[in-house]
Amino acid sequence: MTTLHNLGFPRIGHQRELKFALERYWRGEDSLEELESTAAGLRARHWELQQNAGLDLLPVNDFSLYDQVLDNSLLLGAIPRRFGDLGKHSHADAAFCIARGRDAEGNPVAAGEMTKWFDTNYHYIVPELRPGQRFRISSEKLFHEVSEARALGHEAVKPVLPGPLTWLWLAKAEEEEFDRLELLDSLVETYGGILQRLAALGVAWVQLDEPALALDLPGEWKQAYESAYSRLRAAPVKLLLATYFGPLQDNLHLAARLPVDGLHLDAVRAPGELPRLADHMPAYKILSAGIIDGRNIWRADLKKILATLAPLRQRLGDRLWLAPSCSLLHVPVDLASETGLDEELKSWLAFAVQKLDELALLKQCLRTGAEGCGELLAENIRAIESRRLSSRIHDPKVQQRLQTLSPDMAQRGSPYAQRRPSQISLPLFPTTTIGSFPQTAEIRRARRDYRLGRLDEAGYQRRMRDEIRAVVEIQETLGLDVLVHGEAERNDMVEYFGEQLQGFAFTRFGWVQSYGSRCVKPPILFGDVSRPAPMTVEWSRYAQSLTDKPMKGMLTGPVTLLNWSFLRDDQPRALTCRQLALALRDEVLDLERTGISVIQIDEAALREGLPLRKADWRNYLNWAVESFRITAGGVRDSTQIHTHMCYSEFNDIMAAIAAMDADVITIETSRSRMELLDAFRDFHYPAEIGPGVYDIHSANIPRTQDMLELLEKALERIPAERLWVNPDCGLKTRNWEEVKPALKNMVEAARRLRKQYAGKERMPD
């Protein structure tokens, strides 16, 4: 019989129980026992649910109170020195110290760095290592959870751990750089000890997650895989090596050859490699086909999957296992509790719980043949057909419009240097902000009341206009040069646009963990995208009517809308992105028509959409940049286009950033002390740059002097006439007590700098 298993289940809870329990604990309202008991309740519920769905092996240790990579660092005793002796704390408290920046005594220290888990929107805490470090088993969490599952009567459990090489690959040096592979011996030895202990608990299978095998790996790392796994083969348990998030490509033979008992492949991202692996796998090995999409929310096309599996099943027999493509951490928990979607849309979707049912149905169909699994399969086929043919998805008008796309639509009238003189004139070192101002409790209440019908349209308009008037006045008093309307009407920079565009749907409970207790609720981009009506024009027009200063229009760009949504899987991403670009282009043109002469198109998520493999970057960047250019390309030379990005790693994508052809780019740099601007200098970036001069993530009020120093560093790399002065990012998470003095100091820094440069005219080159 086919074995069904799961790589991991979302731990946050279908009502985000874990989030609320964590936050109560952190506020000091709950005891650790209360938190642990909520956590144990979730684990028990999730195991039972998976058991009832018919899984043959249940994942254990996929649960985490904060992050599974951090848990693994604690398991291995890899704790950066600045945290002191965390050994005296519970696993949970030690994890919170690292994640939230407290040492063992409770003093503030730099928190562990957080970064994106491969190409997902989940963030892990980066392990930090030092030369000569020795590992040893330093946490009981893993073993406790195995015993806990056992005590609940779950015999067939499969502990899940980040594999040694992936964990090491994701780590960084605590201080001075060194070759992390030097630590491999001690690391593998400790993993060996862990596997021993799991065996002693009666565990038969252990899943080691090695998604790093979907990356471009240097030769030494490939060798390290061989040597590490040949040492681990001595362990008295069976190892399932889990790869996911992409094809193995040049690592395929390596992965197939490693002396483990089973190999899991992401068959959604690498369908072609499934039969290839079946050819290459030695006869003793299990091949686990990750056949249900763990990264997206669409119902699986079971008929198609069955056709793929049939020959494999014939060849491999019971050596073929079935699973989701990756951990289900990346999808919402349960469609059944969803109330925000209509029945038709729901019939096209599957969240974590439904994905397990799909697996079970596949198993049944494999056993009985398609005829034997009757109504459930028939229902699946009907849903797939109805989605394929639905007029809610396919809009002939949108498709016709795409046909009219021509290269000149992605092209501004003239190059930057020629169009600059016709744009607004500004003092040297113009000051601006990135868009949002503090989202006060009153603003959020007004939005909520409006949504719930407690505040009527007119009342809401009045509240938002009052807000706009107030922030315009504040900005004029502060002396900022290019103003913003403050984005009070926006709950979220993606949701706000998605809600007004055709083709998007929003869930009420479709939460996915982003980091720690934080969750996001990505929109579902299910159909052809169009813009029924202007989305931001009225707010911007009103804001501009209040001031003689230029008012920046503010839009979220196509690539960011794309990268922060669950996307339709029935057409290439590039095409979906182009549809978004055309819809936003109309908004840009409407803004221009209404008298807005500066328009910012935020692309916060452009970089994070980069494919895992370098070879795929060019293609992605081509269509991503093209989409941005389609959005911006229709305006007159005299309209100044800004873009904003929340990062500063531009070295390897500088050409693409320049190709976006924005007149001004504002970026995050304050935390890197402007050094990352080297990329702009070395590339001779042609247009204007606003490197953030203060960190909006911190509550500290930046001092004029500090910002001046940063600006001087920036001036070593950017010509004065192309340098803007602005914070790192939007200010919506801050309060006015912080924002006002911060901006006052920032404007003062610009003024002082202008004095130093007095006499020099602002001169576009």
Binding site for Zn ion (CB under 5 A): 646, 729
Q: Cα–Cα distance between 596 and 593 in angstroms, integer?
A: 7
Of 378-386, 398-406, 408-416, 429-437, which segment contacts ligand GLN by CB under 6 A? 429-437
Least Å distance between CB 8 and Zn ion? 30
Closer to ligand GLN at the Cβ: 387 or 732?
732
Q: Cα–Cα distance between 615 and 348 in angstroms, integer?
A: 33
Closer to ligand GLN at the Cβ: 267 or 601?
601
Least Å distance between CB 484 and ligand GLN? 8
Could you tell me how many residues of this chain bind ligand GLN (CB under 6 A)?
13
667 makes contact with ligand GLN (CB under 6 A): no
β-pair type (172-173, 205-209): unpaired
Closer to ligand GLN at the Cβ: 439 or 745?
439
What distance lies between CA 160 and its chain's CA centroid?
22
729 makes contact with ligand GLN (CB under 6 A): yes
Q: Cα–Cα distance between 687 and 310 in angstroms, integer?
A: 57
Listed residue (374, 366, 310, 375) closest to 3, CA to CA: 366
209 near 166, Cβ under 8 Å?
A: yes
Q: Nearest-5° angle of CA 292, CA 577, CA 622?
A: 105
Residue 426, binding choice from Zn ion, ligand GLN, none, Cβ under 5 to 8 Å by partner class: none
Listed residue (687, 683, 595) closest to 638, CA to CA: 595
Least Å distance between CB 604 and ligand GLN? 4
Closer to Zn ion at the Cβ: 194 or 646?
646
249 near 269, Cβ under 8 Å?
A: no
730 makes contact with ligand GLN (CB under 6 A): yes
Instruction: Please give the residue whose beta carbon sits closest to ligand GLN in the complex.
Output: 730
Binding to ligand GLN in span 644-663, by CB under 6 A: 644, 646
289 near 311, Cβ under 8 Å?
A: no
Q: Cα–Cα distance between 46 and 15 in angstroms, integer?
A: 13
Amino acid at 315: R
Residue 71, binding choice from ligand GLN, Zn ion, none, Cβ under 5 to 8 Å by partner class: none
Contact characters 731-760, ligand GLN, x per CB under 6 A:
-x----------------------------
| Residue 644: active-site member | no
Listed residue (682, 686, 760) closest to 720, CA to CA: 760
Residue 320, binding choice from Zn ion, ligand GLN, none, Cβ under 5 to 8 Å by partner class: none
> What does the block give as tokens for 106?
């409770």
Residue 435, binding choice from ligand GLN, Zn ion, none, Cβ under 5 to 8 Å by partner class: ligand GLN
Of 32-40, 240-248, 374-382, 725-733, which segment contacts ligand GLN by CB under 6 A? 725-733
Closer to Zn ion at the Cβ: 139 or 439?
439
Q: Cα–Cα distance between 217 and 196 in angstroms, integer?
A: 29
Q: Nearest-5° angle of CA 253, CA 254, CA 259?
A: 110
Closer to ligand GLN at the Cβ: 211 or 435?
435
Q: Cα–Cα distance between 164 and 227 in angstroms, integer?
A: 11
Q: Cα–Cα distance between 324 and 264 in angstroms, integer?
A: 10
Q: Cα–Cα distance between 94 and 107 in angstroms, integer?
A: 13
Least Å distance between CB 668 and Zn ion? 6
493 makes contact with ligand GLN (CB under 6 A): yes
Closer to Zn ion at the Cβ: 26 or 647?
647
Identify the bridge partners of residue 552 per DSSP, sorted by sequence position.
598
33 burial level (CB within 10 Å; 0-12, 13-18, 19+): exposed
554 makes contact with ligand GLN (CB under 6 A): yes
Of 28-36, 332-340, 432-440, 520-528, which segment contacts ligand GLN by CB under 6 A? 432-440
Least Å distance between CB 493 and ligand GLN? 5
Residue 732, binding choice from Zn ion, ligand GLN, none, Cβ under 5 to 8 Å by partner class: ligand GLN
Of 131-139, 282-290, 712-720, 727-735, which segment contacts ligand GLN by CB under 6 A? 727-735
322 makes contact with ligand GLN (CB under 6 A): no
Four-residue CA torsion sign, 737, 740, 742, 745: negative
Q: What single-letter DSSP state applies at residue 433?
A: -
Closer to Zn ion at the Cβ: 273 or 688?
688
Of 31-39, 257-265, 433-441, 455-463, which segment contacts ligand GLN by CB under 6 A? 433-441
The single residue among 6, 64, 190, 436 that binds ligand GLN, judged by CB under 6 A, is 436
482 makes contact with ligand GLN (CB under 6 A): no
> What does the block give as tokens for 590?
């409407």
The single residue among 434, 601, 621, 679 that binds ligand GLN, judged by CB under 6 A, is 434
β-pair type (518-520, 512-515): antiparallel
Least Å distance between CB 594 and ligand GLN? 19
Of 307-315, 409-417, 526-534, 728-736, which segment contacts ligand GLN by CB under 6 A? 728-736
237 near 60, Cβ under 8 Å?
A: no
Residue 433: which residues within 8 A CB-CB, separation 6 or more?
A: 475, 480, 484, 726, 727, 730, 731, 743
Residue 554, binding choice from ligand GLN, Zn ion, none, Cβ under 5 to 8 Å by partner class: ligand GLN
Binding to ligand GLN in span 594-623, by CB under 6 A: 602, 604
Closer to ligand GLN at the Cβ: 5 or 732?
732
- 512 phi/psi in degrees, rounded to 5: -130, 135
Least Å distance between CB 609 and ligand GLN? 14
Least Å distance between CB 505 and ligand GLN? 23
Closer to ligand GLN at the Cβ: 357 or 492?
492
Residue 522, binding choice from Zn ion, ligand GLN, none, Cβ under 5 to 8 Å by partner class: none
Q: What single-letter DSSP state applies at residue 615?
A: G
Torsion of CA 394, 399, 401, 402, to 10 degrees: 130
Amino acid at 514: S
- 667 phi/psi in degrees, rounded to 5: -140, 170
Closer to ligand GLN at the Cβ: 604 or 674?
604
Q: What single-letter DSSP state applies at residue 432?
A: B
537 near 594, Cβ under 8 Å?
A: yes
Least Å distance between CB 731 and ligand GLN? 7
CB atoms inside a 10 Å sphere around CB 353 = 22
> What does the block give as tokens for 612?
């895992």
Least Å distance between CB 501 and ligand GLN? 17
Kindly give the residue spans of alpha helices, DSSP state H, lying in 281-351.
Answer: 302-316, 343-347
Of 114-122, 262-270, 428-436, 695-703, which segment contacts ligand GLN by CB under 6 A? 428-436
Annotated catalytic residue: which of 264, 280, 644, 697? 697
Q: Cα–Cα distance between 638 and 640 in angstroms, integer?
A: 6
The single residue among 59, 84, 127, 435 that binds ligand GLN, judged by CB under 6 A, is 435
Closer to ligand GLN at the Cβ: 84 or 692?
692
| Look-up of token digits 């504002």 | 666
Least Å distance between CB 596 and ligand GLN? 15
Residue 371: which residues within 8 A CB-CB, separation 6 or more?
A: none
Least Å distance between CB 221 and ligand GLN? 33
Which residues are marked as active site? 697
- Binding footprint of ligand GLN on the chain (CB under 6 A): 434-436, 487, 493, 554, 602, 604, 644, 646, 729-730, 732
